[in-house]
Chains A and B, each alone.
Chain A
Amino acid sequence: MPVQGRKVAVVGMSVVAPTCKNLDDFSNKLFAGESMIRLWDKAAAYGKQIRSTVAGYVYPEDTDLEPVYNAVSSEYPETYIDHKGRIPDINLATADLGSIWAMIGSKECIDMAGWTEAEVRSEGTAVVIGSGGGGNEISRVAWHGFFKEGKKTRYAGSHTVDRAMGYREAANVSCFIKNRGACEAIVSACATGLGNIGYAYRLIKFGLQDRAVTGGIEGTALETFIGFDAMQVLSKGFSPAESSRPFDLNRNGFVCSFGSGIVALEEYEMAKARGAKIYAVIDEYFNNSDGDGDMFAPSFAGQQRMWAGLSAGGAQIKPDVVKVHGTSTPVGDIIELLSIAEVLGETGYHLSAPKSQFGHMLGAAGSVEFIAALQMLDKQKVSPCINSDTLNTELEFFQLKPGWAGPMKPVAAYRHLIPQQAVEKEINQIVCLNYGFGGTNSAIAISKDV
């Protein structure tokens, strides 16, 4: 249970995002309304086998890493070379691309937080990091070599487990920073990034840990892209920069993206006492399930219960910005918008939809978008929802169905909530929302430190 009066501060952040060199670059592009989506040559190379060809990809060299390919298979990155010398070879040997990003991000967060080595290595420090796990190239080559080429198991090398297991990012980070507290991963599909931050927040709020390195990852993998491409849920038919278009009438799917978002959390009084810069205070985190047995469809009722749960513990929820999940899929965006309007009314806040700029980072979405929200608090600007050019002036099909309990206005009636350029304004509180397959709904509220 929460310890009364115990608060949690955000004291560090690190991001890996498509086309972005670093956090400042990411922040600048965010408020400039730039798209980070490109034609993905690696997907396009498969011609008619693949339906969508745009993505927010990050190659190893974009993060100063060089894959060392195995002699058995030229497609198998046996390990990586870190040209910046951030991660020792012994740690690189047990890591896939996403786990290396997690280690680099953790190091940057720890430096930003200003934690001492003794603090990091104490029992009070947790590592809580996960990824969506839709697939990765480590497993692909291992399975292919065994099943199709009849190779011995050892030909895939001795690191296919540690480089592909469910909580590989947390495990690698823990071995790298040598903390003695919790080392766990929350995996909840596209809510993974936020779920890990939420769980780490609770560990501190409940008095179990003093600090945590936490977040979500999605290492670039064509395997992940292929799975969603097969579901016909990826955006198709637009130029890369126009492909991710939450709320727009002509949206037809999300853009598959990759990246990493890691943050440093610390018990508020400890952070304050050592004079740390506090980027935000976490007001509350809440997670629930739709309970309707539907793996994929968003639930208005489930989201209404999520909002109720977010304030049930006494947290004051009056956001100036709601950072939406807003994937650019036909049904999800509008259910989410109407659900927010039902709770918050029609004025007094803006919606920020960062996926319009960098696509859907899956397991990293929640944490990278959380960092986008931290930037909004810091810069006092709302990031835009680019490409939301045309809003539907007619009611959605589900609003006309018997039993619909939400607002009876078309999306176009909410144009004033959806900025197409960055908006400067006073921002004291932001609510971040993410949802995932399985009907999971996650919400976190953060405020400026006062």
Chain B
Amino acid sequence: MKEYTQEERQQILDELLDVLRTVRTIDPARLEGVTEETDFLADMNAPSTELINIAVKVEQRFDVEFEDDDIDRLGSKVKDVIDLIILAKERSK
């Protein structure tokens, strides 16, 4: 599988932030200074019920489809979502 550079991962993170800005239950102030280590639940204070909605928005934005097992195993950090996006992108090639 292709190795993604730091720049490429940062580009995904930026797009991910665009998605997160449309989630009204996340306080926009908590989207400042987000890194790959930021935790959706602990740091962004996102309601756990919102994670699945975020996953669907991400699928649309990045034009990928996640497997149910991917989502079941998904961690709550930003890097977990970026890894999943990359996995789904590569899998669809």
Tell me, yes or no, whether B9 is within 8 Å of chain A by CB: no
Q: Is A155 a contact of B56 with CB atoms below 8 Å?
A: yes
Query: In the complex, what's the smallest C-beta–C-beta distance from B66 to chain A, in angstroms?
Result: 9
Q: Is the CB of B56 within 8 A of A154?
A: yes
Residue of B whose beta carbon sits closest to that of A161: B49
Q: What 7 pairs across the A-B complex have the smallest Cβ distances?
A: A89-B24, A158-B52, A158-B49, A93-B25, A157-B53, A154-B52, A89-B25
Which positions in B face A, CB cutoff 8 Å?
22, 24-25, 47, 49-50, 52-53, 55-57, 60, 68, 71
Give bound CA distance, A154 to B22, whole Å: 17
Within 8 A of B (CB), among A118-162: 152, 154-155, 157-159
- CB interface residues, A 48-97, toward B, < 8 Å: 68, 71-72, 78-79, 81, 89-90, 92-93
* Pair count A-B, CB < 8 A: 35
Q: Which residue of A lies closest to B47 (CB)?
A: A90
Pick from B24, B52, B71: contact of A79, CB under 8 Å? B24
When distances are taken between beta carbons in the complex, the residues of chain A under 8 Å from B57 are 71
Residues in A neighbouring B52, C-beta threshold 8 A: 154, 157-158
**Cα separation A269 to B28 with both chains bound (whole Å):** 47
Interface size in chain A (residues, C-beta < 8 A): 16
Known: A154-B56, A158-B52, A159-B53. 14 other contacts (CB 8 A): A71-B60, A72-B60, A79-B25, A89-B24, A89-B25, A90-B25, A92-B24, A93-B25, A93-B47, A154-B55, A154-B71, A155-B56, A157-B52, A158-B49
Contacts of A159 in B (CB 8 A): 49, 53
CB closest residue in chain B, given A79? B24
Instruction: Report Cα–Cα, A78/B68, bound state, in Å.
Output: 22
How far, in angstroms, from A71 to B56 measured CA to CA in the complex?
10
Cβ distance B46 to chain A, nearest Cβ, rounded Å: 10
Q: Per-residue 0/1 for A398-431: is the Cβ within 8 Å of any B Cβ (1 yes, 0 no)?
A: 0000000000000000000000000000000000
User: When chains A and B are docked, how far (Å) is the Cα of A368 from the Cα of B4?
Assistant: 60
Beyond A71-B60, A90-B47, A93-B47, whether A158 also contacts B53 by CB under 8 A is: yes
Asked if A93 and B56 sit within 8 Å, CB to CB, the answer is no
From residue A260, how far is it (CB to closest CB) to chain B in Å? Answer: 22
Q: 12 A-B residue contacts at CB 8 Å?
A: A68-B22, A68-B24, A72-B56, A72-B60, A79-B24, A89-B25, A90-B47, A93-B25, A154-B56, A157-B52, A157-B56, A159-B49
Give the Cβ gap from B1 to chain A, nearest Cβ, in Å: 24
| CA of A297 to CA of B76, assembled, Å | 56
Contacts A90-B47, A158-B50, A159-B49 given; indicate if A81 touches B24 (C-beta within 8 A).
yes
Question: Which residues from A are CB-within-8-Å of B49?
Answer: 93, 158-159
Q: How far is the CA of A57 from the CA of B60 in the complex (A)?
A: 33
What is the bound-complex CA distance between A401 and B4, given in angstroms? 85
Cβ distance A392 to chain B, nearest Cβ, rounded Å:
55
Minimum CB–CB distance from B50 to chain A (whole Å) comes to 7
In the assembled complex, the Cα of A21 lies from the Cα of B25 at a distance in Å of 28
Q: How far is the CA of A90 from the CA of B27 in the complex (A)?
A: 10
Closest B residue to A94 by beta carbon equals: B49
Q: Chain A contacts of B25 at CB under 8 A?
A: 79, 89-90, 93
Per the bound structure, the CA–CA distance linking A79 and B49 in Å amounts to 14
A3–B60 alpha-carbon span in the complex (Å) = 59
A15–B72 alpha-carbon span in the complex (Å)? 44
**Residues in chain B near residue A71, CB distance under 8 A:** 57, 60
Whole-angstrom CA separation of A72 from B53 in the bound complex: 11
Q: Shortest distance in angstroms between A236's beta carbon and chain B's nearest beta carbon? A: 41
What chain A residues lie within 8 Å of B53 (beta carbons)?
A: 78, 157-159
- Compute how far the CA of A310 lies from the CA of B43 in the bound complex, rounded to whole angstroms: 57
A72 to B68, CA, bound (A): 18
Contact residues in B for A154 (Cβ distance below 8 Å): 52, 55-56, 71
A68–B21 Cα distance when bound, in Å, is 13
Assembled-state Cα–Cα distance A90/B50 (Å) = 10
- Find out whether the CB atom of A93 lies under 8 angstroms from the CB atom of B50: yes
CA gap between A217 and B53 in the complex, in Å: 27
A68→B23 CA distance, assembly (Å):
10
| Nearest CB of B to A390, in Å | 53
